[in-house]
Amino acid sequence: MASDGDSGGAAPARRDLVCVTGGSGFAGSWLVRLLLDRGYTVHTTVKNLDEAETKHLQALGGTNTRLQLFQMDLLDPASVRPAVEGARGNEFLEPAVKSTLNVLRAVKDCGVGHVVLMSSPAVMVVDEDCWVDVELLKKVQFWYSVSKTLAEKAAWDFAARRDCRWLCLIQGWYWVQY
């Protein structure tokens, strides 16, 4: 993908460009549709670029000019950058926190006894008192890490205030919050 800036740094953010990770999933594809309907240019990540995974996205209006699909390997951080480059950073933040809290509220309201939260290595939490520096992440425009960190902090706070029993998993790591 060509960037609007020089090749040595991140492309400047475009006001109309947003990135949706997991765009081929149910929630992601609805978000892609909503953003396209509102006139945004959308970069979305998918596991595979094959027709079986992307046909429903290609059928959306505006896909010829305003939708670009990026194959992303969750285990390869470098595969994320092309999709995110040039996107508006703050588009990640509110949806990440809001969606996490929406799920936790529904779980609590329905009386579910235990919750498993799949964390991200982007958060790099040692324990509930030791988090990455969100302000530094914002400064270097690592918006995905900012959104994941804020969402997970909100989840920990929600669980603590509402006496939720949950398990938080990070690839290769785990701990239990009672």
The pLDDT, as a whole number, for residue 126 is 62
**Mean pLDDT split into 10-residue runs, the chain, 178 residues:** 35 66 83 88 89 91 85 75 70 70 78 70 68 85 82 85 73 50
The pLDDT, as a whole number, for residue 133 is 85
Active site residue 47: no
The pLDDT, as a whole number, for residue 2 is 30
pTM of the full structure: 0.50
User: How many Cβ atoms from other residues are within 10 Å of residue 142's Cβ?
Assistant: 19
Query: CA-CA distance, 169 to 124, in Å (whole number)?
Result: 12
The pLDDT, as a whole number, for residue 88 is 65
In which residue are the tokens 């996490």 written? 100
The pLDDT, as a whole number, for residue 71 is 92
Indicate the domain borders of the chain: 17-84, 92-177
The burial class, CB within 10 Å (0-12 / 13-18 / 19+), for 49 is exposed
**Superfamily of domain 17-84, CATH level 4:** NAD(P)-binding Rossmann-like Domain (3.40.50.720)
Query: CA-CA distance, 147 to 103, in Å (whole number)?
Result: 16
Catalytically annotated residue among 47, 55, 108, 148: 148
